[in-house]
């Protein structure tokens, strides 16, 4: 008897258990965007390295908050005042300038009046006295862990790494990925498409999702429905870390991906997951050249292909890249319109969130790309879920721009 389809979480766990870490390499800051830290990142310096003024104003000594004062110098960002100050003296401060020795307070310039080098208080001194001072080590100190292992390196993280004294960062090697779509009905040129054909769009879509992580992607196809053509296409991925196919993963007479993979030497891990769209998904491995290749056979309907790529391909690639959390995270959103009760499979409903409420697309057919392109979330409907009314909260996944973040 054929085994029942796996539940989503079990299937994802079994897929991620196949991952073997890729080699660590060190790349410069400009090449690290979108990668994941392979080691914890520790600061090589203290930030700020000294107490700094957080505002434009005047620095005065501790307890000397009422004046008047004699202005004895200026401290600007990059040009510090090198002397000391005592009671009755003040130093002009620019935002970000180093605080003079013995200074304990910065009074805002709008609370002061200056005549030549004489300074008098016209407003209120700051409370507490150190309110406008950034203390040494406010952000981090030398030796602190500033980013944990598995952090995705976005613009803010790269800026932090530079601030912490790093020019090069440890990351996992970018996975090499072969993406192919198959089917006799696919036309390679969307401008030359006969009535019995449809343009081949899945491989381009999947390749774009993988490249955004980033990965090194090769695209092949469309591949005809024959064992010989599939064998030739698979051979082009002989050294790839991951092979992703689209189409031919079901049980029809022309669905040949599964037997083609077995003939190529791949070992089936599991097949079929209890989700809609996207039930027929193949996960297999192939040991080659001293490493393990992971193969994903995704459904051919474009929405099914996208949903299964979001739930399986992207987590797999994130794991290979060293992500601490490879699986997508759910959002809790409020419905703007009711949802009907769900069937016996967990369902991912294309929908649009406008910042306030989320509404399902009217067309949910797995071939309808227009409703996918118009959506920015997938509503997660559990198996046999009852009707959900407008105003209720639902779980959803963010899929805009491929759901990379």
The string of pLDDT tens digits covering residues 68-112 is 999 999 999 999 999 989 999 999 999 999 999 899 999 999 999
Task: Indicate the pLDDT class of residue 404, thresholds 50, 70 and 90.
Answer: low
Q: Is the pLDDT of residue 14 over 60?
A: yes
pLDDT band for position 203 (50/70/90)? Answer: very high
Mean pLDDT value across residues 271-291: 91
- What's the CATH number for 8-22+173-321? 3.40.980.10
Instruction: Measure Cα distances from 320 to 39, 100, 298, 316, 352 in Å.
Output: 14, 50, 19, 6, 30
CB 47 within 8 A of CB 165: no
> CB count, 10 Å around CB of 143?
11
User: Given this structure, which CATH class describes domain 52-134?
Assistant: mainly beta
Q: Are strands 89-93 and 69-75 parallel, antiparallel or unpaired?
A: parallel
- b (16+ CB within 10 A) / e for 4-22: ebbebeebbeebbeebeeb
pLDDT at 366: 87
Above 60 in pLDDT, residue 42? Answer: yes
Residue 4 in this model has a pLDDT that exceeds 90:
no
Which DSSP symbol is given to 403?
A: G
Q: 405 pLDDT exceeds 60?
A: no
pLDDT at 253 over 60: no
Q: Where are the domains of the chain?
A: 8-22+173-321, 25-47+139-172, 52-134, 330-403
Task: Report the DSSP pairing between strands 216-223 and 176-182.
Answer: parallel
Residue 352's pLDDT is: 96
Q: Is-contact 93 84, C-beta < 8 A?
A: no
Is the full-model pTM beyond 0.95? no
**CA 183/CA 203 separation, integer angstroms:** 12
The pLDDT value given to residue 186: 87
Residue-wise pLDDT for 154-164, tens only, equals 999 999 999 99
For residue range 320-370, what is the model confidence (pLDDT) as tens digits?
999 999 999 999 999 999 999 999 999 999 999 999 999 999 999 888 899
Handedness of CA 128, 134, 136, 142 (dihedral sign): positive
Domain 330-403, classified CATH 2.40.340.10, yes or no? yes
Q: What share of the chain is helix, strand, coil (3-state, %, to 5)?
A: 20, 35, 45
**Same CATH fold, 330-403 and 25-47+139-172?**
no
Average pLDDT score, the chain? 93
What mean pLDDT is predicted for residues 229-233?
93
Report pLDDT for 403: 61
């069937």: which residue's tokens?
343
How crowded is residue 213: how many other Cβ atoms within 10 Å of its Cβ?
Answer: 23
- Nearest to 86, CA basis, from 69, 109, 74: 69
**Residue 257: is its pLDDT beyond 90?**
no
Q: Which CATH superfamily is domain 25-47+139-172 in?
A: Molybdopterin biosynthesis moea protein, domain 2 (3.90.105.10)
Give residue 294's pLDDT: 97
Beta bridge partners of 268: 284
Percent of the chain with pLDDT over 70: 97
Q: What is the pLDDT of residue 188?
A: 87
Q: DSSP label at 357?
A: -
Q: Which of 188, 226, 225 is nearest to 204 (CA)?
A: 188
The pLDDT, as a whole number, for residue 279 is: 86
237: number of Cβ within 10 Å = 24
Per-residue pLDDT at 384: 95
């Amino acid at each position: 008897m054929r085994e029942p389809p796996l539940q989503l979480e079990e299937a994802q766990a079994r897929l991620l258990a196949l991952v073997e870490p890729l080699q660590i390499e060190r790349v410069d800051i400009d090449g690290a965007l979108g990668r994941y830290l392979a080691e914890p990142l520790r600061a090589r310096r203290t930030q700020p390295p000294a107490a700094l003024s957080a505002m434009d104003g005047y620095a005065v000594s501790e307890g000397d908050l009422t004046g008047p004062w004699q202005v004895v110098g200026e401290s600007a960002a990059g040009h510090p005042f090198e002397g000391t100050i005592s009671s009755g003296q003040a130093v002009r401060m620019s935002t970000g300038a180093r605080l003079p020795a013995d200074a304990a307070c910065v009074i805002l310039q709008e609370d002061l009046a200056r005549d030549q080098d004489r300074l008098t208080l016209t407003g209120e001194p700051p409370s507490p006295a150190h309110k406008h001072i950034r203390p040494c080590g406010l952000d981090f100190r030398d030796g602190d862990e500033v980013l944990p292992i598995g952090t995705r390196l976005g613009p803010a993280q790269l800026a932090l790494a530079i601030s912490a004294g790093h020019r090069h960062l440890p990351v996992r090697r970018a996975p090499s990925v072969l993406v192919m779509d198959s089917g006799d009905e696919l036309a390679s040129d969307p401008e030359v498409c006969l009535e019995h054909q449809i343009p081949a769009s899945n491989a381009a879509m999947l390749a774009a999702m993988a490249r955004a992580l980033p990965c090194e992607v090769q695209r092949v196809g469309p591949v005809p429905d024959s064992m010989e053509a599939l064998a030739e296409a698979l051979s082009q991925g002989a050294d790839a870390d991951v092979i992703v196919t689209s189409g031919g993963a079901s049980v029809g007479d022309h669905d040949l991906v599964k037997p083609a993979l077995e003939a190529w030497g791949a070992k089936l891990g599991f097949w079929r997951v209890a989700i809609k769209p996207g039930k027929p998904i193949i996960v297999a491995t192939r040991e080659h050249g001293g490493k393990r290749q992971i193969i994903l056979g995704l459904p051919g309907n474009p929405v099914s292909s996208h949903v299964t790529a979001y739930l399986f391909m992207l987590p797999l690639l994130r794991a290979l890249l060293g992500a601490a959390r490879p699986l997508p995270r759910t959002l809790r959103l409020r419905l703007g319109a009711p949802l009907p009760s769900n069937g016996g499979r967990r369902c991912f409903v294309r929908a649009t969130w406008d910042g306030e409420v989320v509404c399902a697309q009217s067309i949910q057919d797995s071939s309808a790309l227009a409703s996918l392109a118009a959506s920015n979330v997938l509503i997660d409907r559990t198996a046999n879920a009852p009707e959900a009314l407008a105003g209720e909260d639902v779980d959803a996944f963010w899929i805009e721009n491929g759901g990379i973040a």
